[in-house]
Amino acid sequence: MSRSVAILWVVALAAVWAVAPAAAQQEPQSSCVTCHSDPDLFEGADLEIAHQVAGGAHAAAGLSCHDCHGGNPDPALADDMFASMDEGFAAHPYVGAPERGEIPAFCGRCHSDPATMRRHAPDLRTDQEQEYWSSHHGEQLRAGNPRVATCIDCHGVHGILKVDDPEAPTHPRRVAETCGACHSDAERMESSTLADGRPLPIDQLALWRQSVHAKALLDKEDLFAPTCNDCHGNHGAAPPGLDSLAFVCGQCHGREAELFRASNKHDLLQEHQELSAGETCNECHEAPEPQAALVGHVSFGECDTCHGHHAVLRPTLAMLAPLPETPCAFCHEKANDETAAPIDLAASGRRYQDIRDGLLATLPVNLDAEHRFDWMVDRALELPTHSVVDENGESRRRPEFGRLFDKFRIGKTHFQYDDPVTGEIAERQVIRCSQCHGSDTGDGESKGAATAASILRGMRELTALTASAERRVLRARRGGVQTLGAQAAIDQAVDSQIELEVLVHSFSAADDSPFRAKHQQGVVYAQQAITAGDVAIAELSSRRTGLWVSLGFIALLLVGLALKIREIS
């Protein structure tokens, strides 16, 4: 074969490969497609129907318009509307578009038929329709409410995509927006109520966006992070009941759920539910008890009592009580010293006091204690000792500070979100122990407050010791001294602190509790790190002293050498 002939064969094959995909992507011709693709008959969204179907999951499974709507798909009947939409066509009698109340059954003709689904999508369940009718949406639709969601509100109408398609409205990253399309619509949700008769809120999506779940799913692209359907279900969507809520959360947070179910708090909440059924807090609790202020609370669940429903924020120490005057105290002050004495060495302790007092001097005077705490958290993140400006001029946390700040979860007592009701930025308080138990520090009145104070005191002590060790190690490391042993002890102290955040769910800080045992273990690691840090600092000081002595000796030697040279010359 000559070279020119070979080139021609290559060109011909390339042309075939180029045309083949294009031909494969052409929409299959039928009376439905031909008619609905005619711009003389349809325009806008109606003209796009055939194209949407061709790009959807049903077309990929070999299905077309007539498989759902019926009719004769023979392309030769494209100009005969009555023949193509023949209700008497034996193979597929034309049924058209269903009424809104008929949509679940319309989709269920295939999706509830095991034989049909085995042919086209054997991995899909066939009980979706049955589940839907058991959901709140299905019950309301049967009752004649046309505003509730049906299949098409979540999956779309013609361009239905597979769940794992990033463009699908049911893809994990888009589920919340899909649910929010209805649940954030004040007009659509008008007259909808909760089980106790209160109006159904429309801020669920706005609150969820602030949650640790949303940040994991949207910012970190963790597709295993929960969104609406993970807690409420898919087709059988319904709010979790109070008795099942811990099991819903426990699907992911198994250790916390196990600790909570074994705690005294679990039993007390159940007892409280039985005694206060149908009543609000202020019917039994009178001022000045903090419970009297909880007018909007009708009943207490389990996890949601402390973490809320949709705005499940990353848990922080700010949920506990009583908080110190400033968040600085968590890392820089002794936990059991009411004089706010610095935990560090003299020089660095004085420096800390100067910085703290300087910030307090600029504190706005119109803030309450909690907002002052939050204000100080924001200022702490901006301090040069905690942040550094990168080459792009942007401020970011210093690695050592960012690590401790994130692991210890100092947190703030309030958060903000976009309120869909007012269209403005709204603020909510983080649920804190003091909202139910007051701020008693343990002198006899409130057992809950005393437990919260004891837990916080233990966590604060470990935080301060670990942070102090970190500062010592950082000082030595910057001087060139190896600190591997001290760093290992710090890591173990940090792990203990993280474990304490889990053991909070045991709601006990007694001497024989797992919380106290883990706290003591963490303190031992932190003190070991402090000791190792002090040794490293002493070595650094010794090195510097030796260096100055050496420099002095070298200087004297040079002077003597210069004098000798002068004498010889």
For residue range 106-151, what is the model confidence (pLDDT) as tens digits? 999 999 999 999 999 898 999 999 999 999 999 999 999 988 999 9
Q: For residues 161-167, give the mean pLDDT.
A: 93
Q: Who wins on pLDDT, 138 or 482? A: 138
pLDDT in tens, 405-460: 888 888 999 999 999 888 899 999 999 988 888 765 545 557 888 899 999 999 99
pLDDT in tens, 196-227: 777 888 999 999 999 999 999 999 999 999 99
Least reliable range by pLDDT among 326-330, 445-449, 458-462, 516-520: 445-449
Least reliable range by pLDDT among 294-298, 310-314, 528-532: 294-298
C-beta of residue 182 within 8 angstroms of C-beta of residue 149: yes
- How high is the pLDDT of residue 23? 38
Q: Which of 307, 314, 299, 315 is nearest to 243 (CA)?
A: 299
pTM of the model: 0.82
Q: Who wins on pLDDT, 47 or 102? A: 102
pLDDT in tens, 380-396: 988 888 888 888 888 88
Q: b/e string for 54-85 if b means 16 or more Cβ within 10 A?
A: bebbbbeeebbbbbbbbbbbeeebbeeeeebb
pLDDT in tens, 30-53: 888 888 888 888 888 888 888 888
C-beta of residue 49 within 8 angstroms of C-beta of residue 37: no
- How high is the pLDDT of residue 28? 61
* Res. 171: pLDDT tops 90: yes
Q: For residues 270-290, give the mean pLDDT.
A: 65
Residue 426 Cα distances to 416, 496, 524, angstroms = 6, 36, 43
Outline where 385-446 has alpha helix (H). Answer: 399-408, 434-437
pLDDT band at 16 (very low <50, low <70, confident <90, very high): very low
- How high is the pLDDT of residue 377? 93
DSSP of 478-527: HTT---HHHHHHHHHHHHHHHHHHHHGGG----TTSHHHHHHHHHHHHHH
- How high is the pLDDT of residue 21? 42
Q: Which residues pair with 417 in a beta bridge?
A: 426
